[in-house]
Every structure is written in C-alpha cells, then in structure tokens.
Chain A
C-alpha cells in the first residue's frame, strides 16, 4: 500500500530536490547516524566472527556465540545489569511491545490495569491501547507544561489492580528528563506488586541510568538511538521477572525472542554503547553545547518561537524542539531540506488523522503551536560550523513559509 501511495517516481523527486552544497542531518530521533567504529566492528562480524548461528554446534557457531557473549558483557556493563538480564530484539519498538504484551500474557486475575504517561512513545501507547480489546484498562497520567509526570496523579492511579506502569526516563520528542527515582518510589509505595517498565531508548548513554539500582523491572533500548545500527534493540528484564515471548518460533540463545540473533548488529550496538560510555564527558558536553546553540540561536533570531520541553539539565543533551508560530511544520521541513538541513516536525500534515503530536498536545500546546514544531537532535558527530549553518538557514526558511500565509506575521 505504501509503495502504490508514494510518488510514482522517487528518483525524479530526488533529482528535482538536488543535493545541497551543505548538508546537516538532525533527524536522529527518527533514524540515527552510526559511529564508523561500530560499522567497522559490524563488518568484521559479518565477514568473520559473527557469521555462524550462535546456538549451533560447529566452529562458526561457537565463534558467533563468543562474539555475542563478549558484546553482551560490554552492554551489560554499560546498562549496569547482568548479561542474563538482556533480551535482544531488533528495535526499541519491539522491546516496548515485548515488555507490555509479554507481561500482559502473565497478568493474574484482578491486575489488568496499565498506567502510562500521556507522552509515551507510540510503541508504548499502541500496544497498551490494543490490550483494551483483551480486558485491560489503560490510564494515561497527565504531565505538566514541560512534560514532567504529575506525581500526585500517578500516585492516585497506581493501586492493587495495576499490572504495569510504563514511563520513559527521557522523552523522545521534548527531551524531558523525569525524576525516575521518585516515580519508582511512588509506585513501590502504592503497591509493591506493580511492575515498572522504563522506555530507556532516549535515556541510555545520555543521562545517568543505573538499572540495577533503579528498581525497574524492565527497560527498553534501541541501537540507533546511541549511534549504533538500526535493527538492534534490547529489553532488560530483571532477574525473577517472568515474561512470555510475543513471537513464536525456534528460540536460539534468547529466552524471549525467537529467530537467529543478528550478531553483527548486536556487535555494532555494543560497540556504540562502549564508545558513548568511554567518551561520555566529551560527547555529552558537545551535544548539550550544540543543542543550546540551536535553541538559543533560533529563539533569539526568530520571533514568535517557543521551546517545547524543559531547558538546562532537566533536558536531554541532544534534544531541540521548537514551535514556530504562523509556520506550518511540514512545509518548514521541506524548505529546510532544500537547504540541506534535515529535521522532522510534529505537524499533523504528515499524519493520517489530522492531529498533531500527542506529546505536544499533552504539554498543553495549542494546535497551531504543535503544527509549527520542528525537532532536531544533536549527536557527537555534529560540529560548531554545522550548527552555525543551521542557525543561519532557519530565519530565512521561516520567513519564506510565513510569507505564503494568509494570516499572522506573514500576512
């Protein structure tokens, strides 16, 4: 369906767009960049150490098993957990689905309530909502204007009927860094039988996250969000927590996800985590500085702009999400694309339901504010020069889009 819906000639579209002289990729929310070292390690794993099937008894299989084991040890160290507590999936989306559906399949009678925040990723929202068809109830806890979970509302919602609470320590869209410790304390205090899942895809390697000490029961991870390969992900499942697999098939070394492990992708994922941990100070310092350069630059030079989410230390080091009033977001992403600046938008114009981002609506942004939002993420790969280029492009792009408009500043 997608292919017939798409432009008949994607090549003609690309030719018409052309390749801009300068290009700055800021869309790591949707699809990440990769460390060259991770790619190199994957290449070696594809061609040599990771060829075999890690559960098969031949030399190549044992080699693959060794490679998988070594990578898992490194990931477990980065996650502060035991190697046996890591279940590999092929994305953060799959990890979130496994956490919610895998636990739901073990739900005892009388515990059929799932509590999530109002700003969770759709790979949490959708599986939770789907469970309504199987006798579960879903409650979305509101957040404040910066995206912080309303702790009193959370406390009210968690009770002896609650199966699971799922919250992201760092929001994927507006970068809010939750007080995860306080949230888990509230949940434990209300009922120790409630399971806690953290969608840690955007927190891992970006903010301190000690799984062992956190008290969380499950946590999701995504390779591309830490500049590893796409097609890699993991679910941390604390020792003693029982889940059922959501896919059926031949289990390999994994208890929860059937099929052959993508050993080369896991190698890349693990290499990326190791690099992020080894250079945390340098990388996160650079990312925050460039993030603030983007935010301050845009808010300072373009009128009628708003920062979505908190600022400073309560914001993820990579996240810049700004609403530009009187400016439709999808048009702005295309205008910027023509200048070689690649960003995404929370505009409804790219959705099927004519509603903008649920995250922006949950922080009480008006519809027109949500439609005009752009999301940019800095990475360890970006330079000051690139960010300066982006800052120089945005006022011009905004002015052009506003100049087309029948109202507001452009009118």
Chain B
C-alpha cells in the first residue's frame, strides 16, 4: 500500500525528532560517510572525531534527510558510538538502536539499519589509508549491504521508468 499505514511512534522518537542529539556537520572529521539515497527518501551523513592513539570515538555527529525515525535512529547511533572504541562501535546493531527507541515500527527498521550502515561505512573509510585491524570484516556485513541496496534502488527505479517510457514510445511508433 502506498503511504497510508499507521506509524505511531514511540514518544522517544518524537522527542529526538524535536531535539536531535549530535546533529550537524563536523568540521575536519577524522572519518565521515554518507548512506542512503534520495530514491528511498532516506539519507544519513555521519562524522566521527577519533583519538588516533586509543581509537576511541571522541565525537560523533550526523545530518539527515529522512523521516522522524531516521532522525531519531541517527541520534541514538551517535550517542551510542561516542566514547566507544572503533571496534566496540562496529558492533552496534540496528537492533540495539531499535531497542533503545522502544522498538521502531517494523516498516521503519530500515532507518536503524541505515544509521548503522553509515556508521560502519565511516569506520571503513577511517581505515582506508591505514592498516585495517583484524576485527574489521573484509566483506560487507548485512547492515552495510542493506544501505547499498537502498542506494541501488534509485538506479533500479530510474532504469525501470526509462524502460517503460521506451516501450510506450515504441508501441506508439508501431501503431502509426
């Protein structure tokens, strides 16, 4: 169904929508990443300031083009990541975020997944020009793949729209 399903949020989602925590663009972050796409209407940017000696995340910030759940999930993700080592932060799951929010409506779980996908992508970016630690999986984790899938959606949908338009034009030509 399109756009008409009940989305009663937990009050914490509404509170974080009103007063997001760690919102904004960070100047000169040590790591950053963007996840999501305009096609699915959800996009998160994550910025991390990292203590190079200890690998502890000193600051985590986000920006969001998305719904209330996306904004709330990103807030919670940054709160959870702050103060953790990169290895600990890597282990934050979308389930942790959903639980912290008092569980998201099922259709909104992807917002939590996207926040985690963005965080993990930022951590990977941090190690791009460094020796990757042993705990960092070589292959993409499911949360990361989900983010990639959402990004590909734009491509898929655009291709489909173009194909339909081409078919219609072709049919119109055949008729004439």
Residues of A within 8 A of B (CB): 2, 5-10, 12-13, 15-17, 30, 122, 142, 152-153, 156, 326, 328-331, 334-335, 338, 344-358, 361, 366-368, 371, 404-408, 411
Contacts and interface: CB of A to CB of B under 8 A. Distances in A.
B45 interface: yes
Contact of B7 (A8, A350, A358, A366): A350
Residue of B7, B65, B175 contacting most chain A CB atoms (<10 Å): B65
A177 to B, nearest CB: 23
Nearest to B107: A352
A358 B164 CA distance: 14
Q: Is the interface of B mostly helix, strand, loop or mixed?
A: mixed
B140 interface: no
Given A328-B41, A405-B64, A348 B6 contact: no
Contacts of A352: 1, 5, 107
B5 A367 contact: no
Interface stretch (B8-16, B78-86, B121-129, B130-138): B8-16
Contacts of B34: 406
B67 A354 contact: no
A326 B7 CA distance: 22
A153 B64 CA distance: 41
B10 A9 contact: yes
Contacts of B103: 8
Given A6-B8, A350-B4, A354-B41, 18 more contacts: A2-B5, A8-B103, A10-B8, A17-B14, A142-B168, A153-B172, A156-B175, A330-B7, A331-B71, A346-B3, A349-B66, A349-B67, A351-B5, A367-B38, A367-B157, A404-B20, A404-B23, A406-B34
Contact of A331 (B11, B17, B107): B17
Q: Which 10 A-B pairs have the closest CB atoms?
A: A406-B45, A406-B63, A371-B41, A349-B67, A16-B11, A7-B8, A330-B67, A368-B38, A6-B8, A405-B65
Interface string B71-109: 100000000000000000000000000000011011100
B138 to A, nearest CB: 28
Given A153-B172, A367-B154, A371-B38, A406 B25 contact: yes
Contacts of A17: 14
A349 B41 contact: yes
Contacts of B171: 156
B166 interface: no
Contacts of A346: 3
A331 B168 contact: no
Contacts of B168: 142, 153
Contacts of B67: 328, 330-331, 334, 347, 349-350
Contact of B41 (A122, A329, A358): A329
B153 to A, nearest CB: 6
B20 to A, nearest CB: 7
Given A330-B67, A350-B3, A405-B65, A16 B15 contact: yes
Nearest to B42: A349
B50 interface: no
B18 interface: yes
A7 B9 contact: yes
B2 interface: yes
Contacts of B9: 7, 13
B147 interface: no
A350 B7 CA distance: 7
A183 B150 CA distance: 40
A357 B3 contact: yes
Contacts of B2: 122, 351, 353, 355-358
B43 interface: yes
A136 B17 CA distance: 46
A348 B105 contact: no
Contacts of A367: 38-39, 41, 154, 157
A349 B23 CA distance: 20
